[in-house]
Structure 1
């Protein structure tokens, strides 16, 4: 896998942003995602993020979260995060702090 073979795609019908390896064969291979729910018309609530173990340690989870949050910003929505990975990521990337709203515990 080279970095140029990785792509990030929004798949709204599945409520997730996917990480795909485009060099793995004729069809892109799903290697990770960050999943969300839409609790209302204003928020995108991130609930789960995962990356296939064979692709771990390459920063792909952070890249898909950055891609997803930039898309949320572009769409004029706000962020909530129940996913522990996204919560931690946001604590280290304050450039999205203006979009984050607190969440009620699940």
Structure 2
């Protein structure tokens, strides 16, 4: 059941965490610079693979960034691949070498 999974922002660790109960099963790490959020690393526990949870985490973090008015820099391979397949965030994307406008 999807309700058993929660995603929380942990700003003091510069990451989002996906939990099943008290267990961290995935993270999406980021760095902030001005109006940009750079997603640097995303990882899910292998035991939870194939259930769409990584995609759920990606969607959550991208919506959070866009909803906060941030430009999104998808440096990590997972988030980068996700935004290539899902274009809901195209207007918020920047490459790592692009200066914020």
TM-score by length of 1: 0.87
CA contact (8 A) 1:33 1:61 kept: no
Determine the structure 1 residue equivalent to 2:10. Answer: 11
Separation in 2, partners of 1:72, 1:20: 20
Determine the structure 2 residue equivalent to 1:85. Answer: 78
Structure 1, unmatched stretches of 5+, are 23-27
Determine the structure 1 residue equivalent to 2:25. Answer: 31
Between the two proteins, the alignment pairs up a number of residues equal to 97
Q: 1:61-85 CA distances to partner (integer Å, 9 max, x unpaired)?
A: 1111110111111111110011011
RMSD (Å) for aligned C-alpha atoms: 0.9
Q: How does 1:49-68 map to 2 (within 5 A)?
A: 49-68=42-61
Separation in 1, partners of 2:67, 2:47: 31
Secondary structure, in 3 states, of the residue corresponding to 1:18?
A: strand
1:95 to 73, 78, 88: 88
Structure 2, unmatched stretches of 5+, are none
Separation in 2, partners of 1:72, 1:98: 12
Moved over 3 A (4+): none
